[in-house]
Homo-oligomer: A and B are copies of this chain.
Amino acid sequence: MDIEKANLEAVSRMMEARPVVVGMGKALDVIPGMQEDMLLHAGPPITWERASGPMRGAITGALIFEGKAEDEAGAQKLVESGQIKLDPCHHHQSVGPMAGVICPSMSVYILENETHGNKSYSNLNEGYGKVLRYGAYSQEVLDRLRWLEEVLAPVLGEAIVSSKGIDMRALLAESLHMGDEGHNRNKAGSIIFTTKLAPYITKAAPDPETAAEIIRTLGDNALSVLNPVMAACKAMVDAAHDIEGSTIVSVMARNGTDLGIRISGLGERWFTAPVAVPQGLYFPGYTAEDSSGDIGDSTITETAGIGGFAMASAPAIVTFVSGTPKDALNATLEMYEICSAEHKYFTIPPLDFRGTPTGIDIRKVVEKGITPRVNTGIAHKDAGVGQVGAGLVRPPMEMFENALVAFAEQYGF
């Protein structure tokens, strides 16, 4: 068996994938395997008992949103009794930032990989401040979700269809030349996305005031494109999954308690370990004491060769995640050490347009003792609070070692 050949195949598929946002739909209607009594969440499988504060908060908020619970105690009862099932987004071709909770009646972006035909999904970005994905579920959070659902989603969905789709690989290639890294900095991508859709939104909206409010909502939120970006990365890595003999990481995701990875050549198995706490900059009034463990499916960006791996493209991000522009450059340079390829379409101007480090090879991670670098938001450890900062984190080495042992066992080395 030729691991190099298998990895080349996996990474080529990852890079040649061309995910296009083609529309929106209700999670229950469009996400494969989604059920009326199910909530999807970030990271590997989790129970209520082991769930972190922000995950419990987001589950609570989602069940209130669905009209199934009234408070955290009610949510806990539904989940612990099995009346509501929790399942990872990743088991359903989906991804969600931070707690990543997607409930049946939520609208989601639908992406189609035009090269390989697979689809992927992610929910709407709620913006900053008190938001469900960080575990907040106050009335303002729910009102906002309702507005997104009832007013924004139908118009945005129609606008996307009229636009004939937004090519996310092209958008990312462009935004990486505009100071984004695609995970924690999506300023350029979000306004490219808004600018492309705004003409269609004007025509899809019931009236000019609604059009204006929707365009402003997308344009003022520097993370509005994060969810479609994550879904695009999911479509890319899914195209690279299940390549016999490949040691490439095809999923890396955290639920606030555990971080889990999957390997292209090792099927549906998760390799998990307890999450670390991110290091970074905290909002006024908060410190590392307040921080939840690392959480969210957004590490799908690093898995696909952007995010922390493309930090050299985004020197201005250090004002948000700490460090210096030199650190940002070094982060990318270090990641070449553990990656299988340089991206064909995502290039870094300050590095003479070198392709981003793409396709984490668990053999290199273990051999060199270098774990992936991840940019991330930081959630408060308690349910109901929200974001308290942003920073950098590395997944534990243990998972990569375990995955490599499993690979050796499965393939008989």
Contact = CB atoms under 8 A, between A and B. Distances in A.
Interface of A: 174, 177-179, 187-188, 191-192, 194-196, 198-200, 202-203, 205, 208-209, 211-213, 215-216, 219, 315-316, 318-319, 324-326, 349-353
B212 A203 contact: yes
A212 B191 contact: no
B178 A187 contact: yes
Q: How many copies does the complex hold?
A: 2
Given A199-B216, A318-B349, A325-B350, 6 more contacts: A196-B219, A202-B208, A202-B215, A203-B208, A211-B211, A350-B350
B195 A202 contact: no
A324 B208 CA distance: 45
Contacts of A349: 179, 315-316, 318, 325
A73 B256 CA distance: 75
Nearest to A190: B195
A323 B351 CA distance: 14
CB-CB nearest 10 A-B residue pairs: A315-B349, A199-B212, A195-B219, A177-B316, A316-B349, A202-B211, A178-B179, A199-B216, A198-B198, A202-B208
Contacts of A196: 219
A367 B351 CA distance: 34
A213 B352 CA distance: 37
Nearest to A201: B202
Contacts of A219: 195-196, 198-199
A241 to B, nearest CB: 32
Contact of A178 (B188, B209, B325, B352): B188
